[in-house]
A and B are shown apart, each in its own frame.
Chain A
Amino acid sequence: KQEVTQIPAALSVPEGENLVLNCSFTDSAIYNLQWFRQDPGKGLTSLLLIQSSQREQTSGRLNASLDKSSGRSTLYIAASQPGDSATYLCAVPPQGGSEKLVFGKGTKLTVNP
């Protein structure tokens, strides 16, 4: 059964810092991995999708990497801003190819001005 773990559960940093969020998953036979952002009480915004054949994806100040063999992904946020404060969720399919997703519990990020 696919399980997703995110570390740390919460992170507080001063504005301008670079930071790394970690995600690990137990079944490495995945087609893709997706990172989401969730603001309090709101829905999910897709940040980055990494296909299994890719090692990393970049969007603006965000960079996500994927190491399927070790079952790990990282989300790197450069030059953090207070507007980056949110919960970041990592999700993978339960097995192989599936449109369903299994989510980690998320990392709650607070960027202090």
Chain B
Amino acid sequence: SAVISQKPSRDICQRGTSLTIQCQVDSQVTMMFWYRQQPGQSLTLIATANQGSEATYESGFVIDKFPISRPNLTFSTLTVSNMSPEDSSIYLCSVARGYTEAFFGQGTRLTVV
């Protein structure tokens, strides 16, 4: 298994500002994943973060809006930039080992006012 710590657990932010979410894993992993869950919706993958290379973004998500860092094999950050109320969501960090079980952090509940 994997233990994932995500910070902050929740935040209320002003529109136009940015928030950086941190994800720490208790062991080294090759890929880390960032998902978004909008109110009443299921999870959608934002991007895949690989150590030592640029993150790979899914269709509809861009680096300028969601810059990601992956400085080592146990840590990643996701920044939500120039926030608007539409960015109000739960953001979740995930890891998996090979094609096996995926594990998630407890999520960051973001409200933009």
B residues near A34, Cβ cutoff 8 Å: 101-102
Contact for A46 among B6, B31, B98, B102, CB less than 8 A: B102
State the majority secondary structure of interface residues on A. loop
Q: A101 touching B45 by the CB < 8 A rule?
A: yes
Q: A43 touching B98 by the CB < 8 A rule?
A: no
Give chain A nearest CB distance to B66 CB in angstroms: 16
* Cα distance A104–B43 in the bound complex, in angstroms: 8
Chain B residue at smallest Cβ distance from A49: B101
Contact for A99 among B6, B98, B104, B106, CB less than 8 A: B98
Give chain B nearest CB distance to A3 CB in angstroms: 11
Is A97 at the interface (CB under 8 A from chain B)? Answer: yes
Q: A43 touching B92 by the CB < 8 A rule?
A: yes
* Cα distance A99–B107 in the bound complex, in angstroms: 19
* Cα distance A105–B109 in the bound complex, in angstroms: 18
Q: A105 touching B106 by the CB < 8 A rule?
A: no
Contact for A105 among B41, B90, B96, B107, CB less than 8 A: B41
Contact for B99 among A32, A41, A42, A105, CB less than 8 A: A32
Is B100 at the interface (CB under 8 A from chain A)? Answer: yes
Interfacial residues, chain A to chain B (CB-CB below 8 A):
31-32, 34, 36, 41-46, 49, 89, 91, 93, 97-106
Interfacial residues, chain B to chain A (CB-CB below 8 A):
6, 10, 31, 33, 41-45, 48, 90, 92, 94, 96, 98-107, 109
Q: List 25 A-B contacts (CB under 8 A).
A: A32-B100, A36-B104, A41-B10, A41-B90, A41-B107, A42-B106, A43-B90, A43-B105, A44-B92, A46-B101, A46-B104, A89-B42, A89-B43, A91-B43, A99-B31, A99-B33, A99-B102, A100-B45, A100-B48, A101-B33, A101-B43, A102-B45, A105-B41, A105-B42, A106-B42
